[in-house]
Amino acid sequence: MNKKKISILTILSIELLSLSLFSCGTNNSYSVESIINEAEKLDRKDLFKKAMNELNGKTMYALGNSSRSTTAIEYFINYLKGKSFDNSTKTFVDDLTIQKEFPYYDPNFTGTIEYTQPVNNRIFSFISSDIRSSTHTLSMALVQDGNQIQSKMLNNGYLLNYIPKEWEGDKATNGEPLALQSLNKVFVYNNLGTKKFTNVWDFVANGFSTEFMPLNSEPVGKNFLYMLTREDYASIVKEAYNSYSGDKTTIDETINNVTPLVKKFGLNKNAVYSLAWIKLFVKQFTIEDDDAPIANNLTSIDSKDEAGLLVYSKFRLIKETSDVSNKFVTIAAYQDNYEGFGGYMYKHYLQILKTSPYPWTSCALINFLVTTQYGYSPWGKDYGGYCSNPSSNQDHSNDGGSEYPIKNDRGYDWWTSNTKGKGRLVIEDPVYCSKMSYTIGNWIDTL
C-alpha cells in the first residue's frame, strides 16, 4: 500500500513538473510578446535605453541570411556608445550628432551581439531547435524565403513581429511580417549580339536557355514561380503572350499540355499561361551556382545574345576592362517596348523569436536597422535593395550616368508598379507561397 502511494506521488510530481516546465515556456513567450507591444509605443531613444540596461555586460545571439548584418550590428553597438564609423580612418569615433539625438549613450557600454549566418538553408532548423530547447540562446533573426517563414515559423507561432514607432512603411505590403528590405532579381541580357529581348516570352523561347540559380539551393526562386500563378501576375503573362511576335509553336503545345493543371491546382483561368511559362523556363534554364558568375558571364565580350535572371546589385562588383563591362548588358525592362514582367522581388524579414532572451535589444536593433539611414547603410549604399522605410533609402538613380545605364536604379516604386512600361516585378507574398508550395512545388520538382 505504501509503495502504491509512493508511486502515485511520484507520477503526480512528474506531471506537475512537466506542467511547470510547459508553463514556463508559455509565460516566456507571453512576456516577449508583451515587451514587443510596449516597445512599439516607445520612441527610439527610450527603447535604446531599455536595450542598454538589458544587454550591458552580456551577449545576445542573432542569425540571418545577410553577411552585411555584421557591419550593421557594429554600427548599432557603437551608436549606443555615441560613436559612428569614420570611412577615412576605418574606425569608430565620437559623433556629436549621435550624442545629441541619443543622450543616454554610454562610452563604457559593454554589451555585445554575436551574429551567425547558417549555410545550406538551415536557418529555420536552427530557430526551431532553439525554441524547442529547454534553454534558449537565439533572440532575433533576419530571414528570407516567405514560404518557409509562413509555413514553418509564423503558422507555428515561433516568430513574433515588431513594428517600430518611427517606421513609415506600408503595413499591408511590408509590415506583416516586417521587411527590412526588398531585393530584385531582373532579366538582363548581353547587348553585343543581334538577338532582341523585348518580351518575357523571349526568355523561354524554343531552344533558348536563361541563366538562373538552382531552385532548391535558393528557394526564393521557387517562390517567384508560385507567385507567377496569382491572378494579377498571370494576367501580365497572358498580356505578354498576346503581344508576342516570336514562334509560338512550342509555347502553344505547352499551354495545351498544362491546361488540366489549372483546375487541379484551383487556379484562375489565366494561370494556364503562367504554368506554360514556368514549365518552359524550368526545363530550359542553364544552372549557375550563384548570381555573381551570371553577372560575370553576361558582361563578357564573348557572351553575345546570352541572358540571365539574377540579383540586380551583382553588377556593382564588375571590374571594368576592355573585355568585361557593364556597357555590354541591358536590363530588359528598361526598354521602352518591353512586354511582361521584368523579374521578381523577394524580401529580408526581421523577426523576434518567441523565446528571445533579449527582447528589448531585439526590438532596438530592428528599429535601428529599418528606421535609420545609418543603420540600413550597409545595404542601402548599393542599388537594387529597397528599405521598407522610405526615408532610409539612398538615391541611386544616376549611379552609372550615361556611360553605364544599367547602374541607374529606377527605384522601388518603378520596379513594383504593375503599370505597363514599368518594372512589374513579381513580388513574394508569404501566405500565397505557403498555400501553393505543396501542389505547384511538387509539380515543379517533376520538371
Which residues of the chain fall short of a pLDDT of 50? 1-27
| Cβ neighbours, 10 Å, residue 191 | 16
Pairwise CA distance, residues 414 & 420, whole Å: 11
For residue 173, give the nearest of 162, 184, 182 by alpha carbon. 182
- Tens of pLDDT, residues 325-350: 999 999 999 999 999 999 999 999 99
The three-state DSSP-derived secondary structure of the chain is CHHHHHHHHHHHHHHHHHHHHHHHHHHHHHHHHHHHHHHCCCCHHHHHHHHHHHHCCCEEEEEECCCCHHHHHHHHHHHCCCEEEECCCCEEEECHHHHHHCCCCCCCCCCEEEEECCCCCCHHHHHHHHHHCCCCCEEEEEECCHHHHHHHHHCCCCEECCCCCCCCCCHHHHECCEEEEEEEEEEEEECCCCCCCCEHHHHHCCCCCCEECCCCCCCHHHHHHHHCCCHHHHHHHHHHHHHCCCCCHHHHHHHHHHHHHHHHCCCCCCHHHHHHHHHHHHHHCEECCCHHHHHHHHCECCCCCCEEEEEHHHHHHCCCCCCECHHHEEEHHHCCCCECCCEEEEEEEEEEECCCCCHHHHHHHHHHHHHCHHHHHHHHCCCCEEECCHHHCCCCCCCCCCCCHHHCCCCHHHHHCCCCCCCCCEECCHHHHHHHCCHHHHHHHHC
What's residue 17's pLDDT? 34
With beta carbons less than 8 A apart as the criterion, state whether 22 and 345 touch. no
What's residue 7's pLDDT? 40
With beta carbons less than 8 A apart as the criterion, state whether 192 and 307 touch. no
With beta carbons less than 8 A apart as the criterion, state whether 423 and 333 touch. yes
What's residue 14's pLDDT? 31
Query: How distant, in Å, are the alpha carbons of 129, 201, 274 from that of 240?
Result: 45, 7, 11
What's residue 29's pLDDT? 52
What's residue 30's pLDDT? 59
Residue 39 has φ and ψ, to the nearest 5°, of -65, -35
Q: On the CB side of 405, how many CA atoms lie within 13 Å of its CA?
A: 11
What's residue 375's pLDDT? 98
